[in-house]
Structure 1
C-alpha cells in the first residue's frame, strides 16, 4: 500500500492572522514548500456526519484573486461532485451559477 503526506504550514502574526501559507506533498512535484495566498480544506467526518473546514487566506491576498479563487473552487467542486455522483442536472445548474458569479464579480479568463 502507498501513502502520501500533505503538509500545510501557516505562519501567523501577533493577531493570529495568516501572514504566509505554504504546502508540500510527498506525492507531487513540489519537494520544497510552495507558498500560496489562500486555501480551503474540507474533510467529511463519517462518525458525526458533518464537514469540518479550514478556510484561510493571507493578509495580502488581493480581492480580485480571491474572487477568482472562489470561482475556480466552485467549478472544481462541481466537477468533483459530478465525478463522485454522476448527477448531471444539478451540475448544469451549478455551472450556470458559476457563470453568473463570474459576471457579477467581473472575472475574466
Structure 2
C-alpha cells in the first residue's frame, strides 16, 4: 500500500495568531515547503457522523484574497460534491449561489 503524508506547520505570534502557514507533501515533486495565507481543512468523523474543521488564516491575509478564497472553495466543493454524489441539479444551484456571492463581494471571475 502506498502512503503519503501532508505536513502543515503553523507559526504563531505571541498571541497565538497565525503568522505563517507552511505545508509540504511526501507525494509532491516539489520537496520545498509551500507557503499559504489561509487554509480550510474538513474531516468526516464516521463514528460521530459529523465534520471536524480547522480554518486558519494569517494576520496579513488581505480581505480581497479571503473573499476570493471563499469563492474558489465553494466552487471546488461543488466539483467534489458532483464527483462524490452525481447530484448535478444541486451543484447547479450551488454554482448559481457562487455567481451571486462573487457579484455581492465584487470578485472578478473573468480571466
TM-score (norm 2): 0.96
Q: Tell me the SS of whatever aligns to 1:75.
A: helix
Aligned pairs for 1:7-86 within 5 A: 7-86=7-86
CA positional deviation for 1:30: 2.5
Count the aligned residue pairs: 109
Question: Residue 96 of structure 2: SS of its match in structure 1?
Answer: helix
Q: State the shift of 1:46 in Å.
A: 0.3
**Local SS of the residue matching 2:101:** helix
What is the CA distance between 1:82 and its match in structure 2? 0.3
Whole-angstrom distance in 2 between the partners of 1:30 and 1:82:
29
Task: Give distance in 1, aligned partners of 2:84 and 2:28.
Answer: 23
Task: Give unpaired runs (5+ residues) of structure 2.
Answer: none
Where does structure 1 differ by over 4 angstroms across 4 or more consecutive aligned residues? none
TM-score of the pair, normalised by structure 1: 0.98
- In 2, the alpha carbon distance for the partners of 1:29 and 1:64 equals 30
Cα offset for 1:18?
0.2
Name structure 1 gaps, 5 residues minimum: none
Aligned to 1:4: 4
* Superposed CA offset, 1:65-105 (max 9, x none): 00000000000001000000000110000000000000000
1:97 and 1:29 map into 2 onto residues whose CA distance is 36
**Deviation for aligned residue 1:28:** 1.4
